[in-house]
Structure 1
Amino acid sequence: MSKKPLILVTNDDGITAPGIRALITVMNTIGDVVVVAPDSPQSGMGHAITINSTLHIEKITVDDGPQEEYSCSGTPADCVKLGVREILKRRPDLCVSGINHGSNSSINVIYSGTMSAAIEAGIEDIPAIGFSLCDYNWSANFEHCKSYVKTISEHVLKHGLDRRTVLNVNFPNLEKSAIKGIKICRQALANWEEEFDKRQNPYGKDYYWLTGKFVNLDLGEDTDEWALANGYVSVVPIQFDLTAHHSIQKLNTWNFNEK
């Protein structure tokens, strides 16, 4: 029996995306790899799961390598659920998601299929990391990410993570020689100023394209946005307990039961 760690690999850009192929290459140097990833792009799916239709899995070969690969008709969260419950023979020692084509820093983590896959693994109490490169180009170069992916993954395997915590890792779109290192950060306060581009089809029916710009509202120098803008790989520990603990005491002063 192999003594290597068992690693589940997934993403949201689809199983053939260059980002996940780069991630698989790195994971093959660390452990035994099983890939369960969407059969088509699922960006922006957040933590959606499939409940009103059937799911399909197909064992495939995308490229040469020792990894075992499965293409899934569902969302990134579906891929993790199926991987853990139906495909893997034992619980994985690590789940990695990505490398995403585009940033998942700051508020983007809420919408991210990449990070939702990692969070789903965290819910299963599996150490998990989401990796993203701040380059949306399909032909983006992921080579400068690989050494950092390996370093961070090996540290997680060695030291573990706190329960209910996963890592959100973002890489600046820079040459490797320009990256200053890794910085542990908090999530920046930012949002999207969104607009809808309203158009009409040839039949006169209105349709909309979502547009907008990302606005960083946070001037702190300890955030993921600051780190990325200043040439660092950002690492943010995130939790999926969404309780606003600081508000509990205040809400307890409200007399909801007053007649």
Structure 2
Amino acid sequence: MERTTTYKPTILIVNDDGITAPGLANLIEAVADLGEIIVVAPDSPQSGMGHAVTIGNTLRLVKVNLFEEMGIEAYQCSGTPVDCVKMAQDILLHRKPTICLSGINHGSNASINVIYSGTMSAAMEAAIDGIPAAGFSLQDFRWDADFSIAKKVVRTVTQQMLGSHLPENFLVNVNIPKVSEADFKGIKVCRQASAQWKENFEKRVDPRGNDYYWMTGKFVNNDMGADTDLENLKQGYASVVPVKFDLTDEVVGSWIRRNWEVEG
């Protein structure tokens, strides 16, 4: 009789809140039985790092036993979320994982936040290398946030990813609203809302009399479209925004070609 082996996909899990973040543990719990899990996360919080990579400093990768009881191999990295993805492939796996999941972030990464997010940059780094990826964020900054709805969304999206023939460079930004089970409406595919942060820098004085500045500000949304991530989150839906890393603006490009191009 021929032996048959059951295929198990390799799922790389990363984040930006650090190896001890509750959001990371909840993401792992949500998908632990869906494949062979390997975790690589920063050794300290890296929120707002965007797509930063470590160039001028050494990098360290240390095995940790935080998820040993689940039979899951995990490492903490001294670098950025993007470093975690690079080192997972080059140092630990020596191959591409089947998919990459990043999160669950403590706080929203909807709209323009996708640009600043270490969570999404880690997922984007995977997608750049041809690994289907998803970043997950919960609209709750509390360390003791309730991740029950977020875990269901993570599992649903992951199962869809593993069960589908995905297009090249697949990448989605998934945000989950802070609502009760009764008020959760489901999952909607949306577009990214056009919004921005309006910063303000408060001038302060340290105990030695030296000036320093503390960044404050507010989030301004001027996009009232019903099909945006911000609007659907407000309505109680988890938003799924397809993201691409090719930032070419073809509309502006067409205008420039017509008006700026000259033969040398």
**TM-score w.r.t. length of structure 2:** 0.95
State yes or no: 1:41 paired with 2:52.
no
Map of 2:115 onto structure 1: 110
Equivalent residue runs for 1:36-75 within 5 Å: 36-63=40-67, 64-75=69-80
State which of 196, 203, 227 in structure 1 corresponds to 2:232.
227
**Distance in 1, Cα, partners of 2:214 & 2:33:** 42
**Distance in 1, Cα, partners of 2:240 & 2:259:** 38
2:50 is paired with a residue of what secondary structure? coil
The one-character-per-residue Cα deviations of 1:29-68 (angstroms, maximum 9, x if unpaired) are: 2111000000000000000000001100001111421110
**Distance in 1, Cα, partners of 2:260 & 2:131:** 40
The offset of 1:258, in angstroms, is 6.6
Is there any run of 5+ residues in structure 2 with no aligned partner, and where? none
2:159 is paired with a residue of what secondary structure? helix
**Distance in 2, Cα, partners of 1:111 & 1:135:** 17
**Distance in 2, Cα, partners of 1:209 & 1:218:** 28
**Distance in 1, Cα, partners of 2:227 & 2:112:** 15
Decide whether the 8 Å contact of 2:131 with 2:170 is kept in 1. no
The offset of 1:89, in angstroms, is 4.4
In structure 1, give the amino acid aligned to 2:40. V
Map of 2:104 onto structure 1: 99
The offset of 1:135, in angstroms, is 0.4
Greater shift in the superposed pair: 97-106 or 54-63: 54-63
What is the total number of aligned residue pairs between the two structures? 259
State which of 11, 27, 31 in structure 2 corresponds to 1:27.
31
State which of 140, 149, 152 in structure 2 corresponds to 1:147.
152
Decide whether the 8 Å contact of 2:13 with 2:101 is kept in 1. yes
Between the aligned residues of both structures, percent identity stands at: 53
State yes or no: 1:14 paired with 2:23.
no
Map of 2:136 onto structure 1: 131
1:4 is paired with a residue of what secondary structure? coil
State yes or no: 1:176 paired with 2:181.
yes
In structure 1, give the amino acid aligned to 2:237. Y
Decide whether the 8 Å contact of 1:134 with 1:171 is kept in 2. yes
RMSD: 1.3
Greater shift in the superposed pair: 86-95 or 70-79: 86-95
Greater shift in the superposed pair: 140-149 or 234-243: 140-149
**Distance in 2, Cα, partners of 1:228 & 1:207:** 36
